[in-house]
Amino acid sequence: MSIAVESVKEIAAVPSFTVTLFVRRFDPEKDEEPKWQDFDVTVFGTDRVLDALHKIKWELDGSLTFRRSCAHGVCGSDAMRINGRNRLACKTLIKDLDITQPIYVEPIKGLKVEKDLVVDMNPFYQAYRDVKPFLIASDKPTAERIQSPEDRARFEDTTKCILCAACTTSCPVFWTDNQYFGPAAIVNAHRFIFDSRDEAAEVRLDILNDKEGVWRCRTTFNCTEACPRGIEVTKAIAEVKQAVLRGRR
């Protein structure tokens, strides 16, 4: 298997090269303020930013702290700000960045930094839970419910959310007002508001008609650009706004 690794690297036709990473560090037990620290690492053409962070942690400085798990863009652990843009470190190939310049890696914005790239996600999760992100139906089915492919397609896009917070923490409104539900919570409300099996759309629309709800969105599209799952976040928010005004159909 080790041979396979080498060959893929050759196919990619990108030999190893050295990049400089500037990583935003903060140790709550030692530091008053966050600071930048730079590391030079040798990487390959198929390496992602996550691989570079692992190299630093495993070879240079074991105290570098970040969350990660699946390493291929489905678990949502490693959203961070890379060269000023929110991305998943495991989905960002280093060769796709401008490697003649240092790569800047910092925590996502608007949530309290706990240590290095780790932020307190609890306010984010709370906003998600506050929109009632679960199916509410009064029927007690004994078999599968029937749902047409068209009805199913109506909310397909927003089922893809992995709760990585890349969208919410790219939103300028969220940066200045932490009370705002934020794009991810609205996306997860959308997923149920437009599910034909659900009966509580009005309840969620009431929640999002609040002053910290959908009307805070100023349609900057940062969220859509940031979403690593390709969800049309801004469009989903717009659909929820429409539903508040005219009902969900």
Partner 1 sequence: MSEVKVHHYQYDVVIVGAGGAGMRAAIEAGPHLKTAVISKLFPTRSHTGAAQGGMAAALANVEEDNWEWHTFDTVKGGDYLVDQDAAEILAKESVQAVIDLENMGLPFNRTPDGKIDQRRFGGHTRDHGKAPVRRSCYAADRTGHMILQTLYQNCVKLGIEFYNEFYVLDLVMNTVDGVERPAAVVAYELATGELHVFQGKSIVFATGGFGKIFKTTSNAHTLTGDGVGIIYRKGLPLEDMEFYQFHPTGLAGLGILLSEAARGEGAILRNASGERFMERYAPTIKDLAPRDMVARAMANEVREGRGAGPHKDYVLLDLTHLEPAVIDAKLPDITEFARTYLGVEPYTEPVPVFPTAHYAMGGIPTNIKAEVLRDNTTVVPGLYAAGECACVSVHGANRLGTNSLLDINVFGKRAGIYAVEYAKDAQFVDVPQDAIAETVKLIEHMRNATGTEKIAVIRKELQDTMDKNAQVYRTEESLNEALDKIKELRKRYEHIQVQDRGLRFNTDLLEAIELGFLLDLAEVLAYTARERRESRGGHFREDFETRNDEKFMVHSMAYKDGEDIKIGWKPVTITNYPPMERKY
Of the two residues 106 and 116, which places its CB atom closer to partner 1 in the complex?
Answer: 116
To the nearest whole angstrom, how small is the minimum distance from the Cβ of residue 113 to partner 1?
Answer: 11
The one-letter code for the residue type at 88 is L
Minimum distance from CB of 219 to partner 1 (Å)?
26
**DSSP structure class, residue 105:** E
Residue appearing with tokens 């149920």 = 192
Please state, as a whole number, how many other Cβ atoms lie within 10 Å of the Cβ of residue 91: 18
Least distance to partner 1, CB of residue 70, Å:
5
Residue 215: CB minimum distance to partner 1, A: 25
Rg of the chain over Cα atoms, rounded to whole angstroms, equals 21
CB 20 within 8 A of CB 40: yes
Supply the minimum distance, in Å, between the C-beta of residue 10 and partner 1: 6
Please identify, using beta-carbon distances, which residue of 163 and 243 lies nearer to partner 1.
163
Q: Which is nearer to partner 1, 57 or 109 (CB)?
A: 57
Which C-beta is closer to partner 1: that of 14 or that of 238? 14
| Token output for 172 | 């300028």
CB-nearer residue toward partner 1: 70 or 221: 70
H-helix or E-strand spanning residue 22: strand 17-25
**DSSP 3-state assignment of 217?**
coil
CA distance 38 to 56: 10
